[in-house]
Amino acid sequence: MCPSADVTSRAAAASQHHQAAAKAGIELGRQSASAKKLEGQRFIRRIHLLRALGLGLGFVSIASVLYQNGAHPLVWAALVFNGLVWPHLAYFISRRSADYKRAEYRHLLIDSTLGGVWVALMQFCMLPSVLVITMLSMDKISIGGLRFLARTAVAQVLACLATAALYGFRFHPQASEFVVRASMPFLIFYPLAVAGATYQLANKVRRQNKLLAELNRIDPLTGLLNRGHWEEVVVNELRRHQRNGRPAALLMLDIDYFKPINDDHGHPVGDEVIRKVAAVIQRSVRDIDTAGRYGGDEFGIVLPDADAQQASAVAERVRSSVEQETFGLQGGLRCTVSIGLAGASQDMHSSRDWIAQADSALYRAKTLGRNRLASIPVRQLAG
């Protein structure tokens, strides 16, 4: 039984629970907003770096064609603005925008539109025109996929046709050696930069997937394995025992009189008891043991290479440590656990048989008075 030296009323516990939940909600909201802002800043910086590099290298390639064609000073001014000023202006606008994604998508549309203008102003010079269109297409696919590419391609074509109509349609696709050399940095370095950015994003996704998989294995309240992944450990350990005959034991335990704890003290205190018991289990087991939350206030521990004596020692360490622990807001609540022990055997058909035997031992511990260990002996392999 879990007697309380200082019984806390349900009303007070509920009030404290609501206050804690409200504070947690506010803090969670702040953390979410901060994480969203940080992610937005990274997104804007990534696009800014690629835009500055791409338009800067594109400036050299386009300038070589305009130089050969004797372009008007206003065209040169527009090229300087687009290649050297626009990337930083777009970055500044996006950082100040309340909706950074919409702002960047708008800027990417402007990039494509201006790209169509430059293709016409270069009189469709083949190499730099193909480089500009390819660079802009890579951006759109990496950010918004093929559908976004299709939208921006329409704007690009319309801008190209409109510029050709106003400027006078001139078609000179041949690229001189001077233009080819001026386009080489663009051809070499921009794809490498995009490949590097893609690699970084792929690494980030892999790390996030790994973290997600790890979180999916863990019970969020206790930090122990959740039931599904803990049962996988039980299956593997039983197979190992049946394959090589090495001893193994299974502990099932739950908190005595846990329902009255929730009824008398409220669920926040009940959650604290579960967390503290889980922490005691983690401190008490061996490095090679695997503990998990089986459900509610019930836990399981897999003990490889443990005979009856070794398993009983671990179980007693858990039991006595929980008995000595204090719980509750004022530290006046005491709890105990009942533990069932079952050893692995060759005639078990599945891990369910093993868990069922440990559960039976747990039930026996409760019928004998709780706060104790009851066991089904670990069977040794004959011979």
Residues 33-50 pLDDT 10s? 555 667 778 888 888 998
Burial class (CB in 10 A: 0-12, 13-18, 19+), 347: exposed
| CA distances for 216 relative to 209, 227, 272, angstroms | 10, 11, 22
Write out the CATH class of domain 227-376.
alpha beta
Give yes or no for residue 16 having a pLDDT over 70.
no
Structure tokens at 156: 């690009």
pLDDT at site 1: 43
CA 71 – CA 46 distance, rounded (Å): 33
- Give the residue-averaged pLDDT of 20-35: 47
Give yes or no for residue 29 having a pLDDT over 80.
no
pLDDT at site 13: 41
Query: For the chain, what are the domain ranges?
Result: 12-215, 227-376
Highest-pLDDT range among 24-38, 206-220, 301-315: 301-315
Higher per-residue pLDDT: 34 or 287 = 287
CB-hemisphere CA count at 13 Å for 328? 22
pLDDT at site 92: 93
- Give the residue-averaged pLDDT of 188-213: 81
CA 305 – CA 142 distance, rounded (Å): 52
- Give the residue-averaged pLDDT of 296-320: 95
What dihedral angle (degrees, nearest 10) is formed by the CA atoms of 182, 187, 193, 197?
Answer: 150
Nearest to 58 by CA among 192, 193, 186, 191: 186
pLDDT at site 34: 59
Pairing between strand 248-255 and 298-304? antiparallel
Nearest to 185 by CA among 61, 50, 63, 47: 61
pLDDT at site 134: 92
Give yes or no for residue 367 having a pLDDT over 60.
yes
Query: What are the φ and ψ backbone dihedral angles of 328, each rounded to 5 degrees?
Result: 90, 165
Nearest to 48 by CA among 115, 112, 94: 94
